[in-house]
Amino acid sequence: MHSPELGGVDDQPAIDVDGRTYTYQQLDVAIEQWIDRQGPHAAVYDASTLAVADALICVCAAARRGVPVIVENPEARADRPSVPPTAFLLVTTSGSTGRPRPLARTAASWFDSFPAFTTITGIEATDRVLITGPLHATMHLFGALHALWRGACVTDDPSQATVVHAVPAILRAVVRSATNLRTAIVAGIALDDGATAAADGIELIEYYGSAEVSLVAARRVPEPLRLLDGVDAEVRGGLLYVRSPYRVLGAPEWFGVGDLAELGDNRELTVRGRGESAINVGGTTVVAEDVERILETIDGVTAAAVVGSPHAVFGETVTAAVQLDGVAGIDEVRSRARGVLTKEAMPRRWVPLQALPRTAGGKLARGRLKDLLT
């Protein structure tokens, strides 16, 4: 056995997605049928183009049989010259650039973290866990597999959900229809004040990690992020390096995550944003995510993204792309921004967009944004 058994039994609901429902007994049968259809000689399974229910059956079948399974965006396949012999999950990461990069991980690199994740989130077998993005975005695949391991039900119906996995921007929309939510689990990008306010009355869990090292730190809001047991971190030149038992195959012992960070007492971790999004304005470092969080609190702004633009005198200046709410104009927003941003952080250029470019997982595709703004 290469993975733990499914957490539920008999007539407990396991999957309720796209109008298709499976109890745990039916899911177990479907997994065995999948294995039989693939035959004993299939070396790799591929769930990338499958509907969510079939993809989860495929992944569980791969775990049961001990063969690798590919879960990629079918529209952005990564070149994968070889498959490590101990690989279970073959996934990709696009980060903020949108360019796919292949990753491979063992079953243990995820499943071994499930007990700690259960302690953090409090997910029970009676929960209905809402997944709000595609399974090729690893935070959603992780959330779905953890739910099945725990014996909960994976669903796409907000009205029935008691727990949700979402990036902050999606959480703000989901809470309006998910009236039975008890817990919201946020990851992918840093939690912002707007999402926190939208989730008022709901237990809010934030975790920090990456596709390469999985879970790194977590917190119950408003507590600070703390490193998970067994995970170590160092800050070198302002950038975060992580040593983790949950890292992907081939990653160095100390993996450079690429985020600006600070370590405090009691294993507290403060993440300030991507190192690549640090903007040097006349010798002052402006962190793009800090400016974005402030801009998104301004009346009239639905979403904001910030990049650095070359400047002959200052080295770089700040450019802001903003989605407006249709009520306030760009001049009004700019005027309000002057009252809350420092001189260095104040955007010199403002670009209104109908929608910010995002990865499939809901993260800002900063690389594509830079291409749009140049």
Query: Is residue 3 pLDDT above 70, yes or no?
Result: no
- Element containing residue 199 per DSSP (H, E): none
C-alpha 145/C-alpha 124 separation (Å) is: 14
pLDDT tens for each residue of 126-174: 999 999 999 998 999 999 999 999 999 999 999 999 999 998 888 988 9
pLDDT tens for each residue of 216-250: 999 999 999 999 999 999 999 889 999 999 999 99
Structure tokens at 372: 């749009």
Written as one string, the DSSP assignment of 18-69 is TTEEEEHHHHHHHHHHHHHHH-TT---EE-TTS-HHHHHHHHHHHHHHT--E
**Percent helix / strand / coil, the chain, rounded to 5:** 25, 30, 40
The reported pLDDT for the residue numbered 243 is 98
* Domain annotation for the chain: domains and CATH numbers: 13-271 (3.40.50.12780), 282-373 (3.30.300.30)
CB 104 within 8 A of CB 87: yes
Residue type, 357: P
The model carries a pTM of 0.80
CB 5 within 8 A of CB 111: no
C-alpha 164/C-alpha 351 separation (Å) is: 33
Query: Is residue 279 pLDDT above 70, yes or no?
Result: yes
DSSP type of residue 25: H
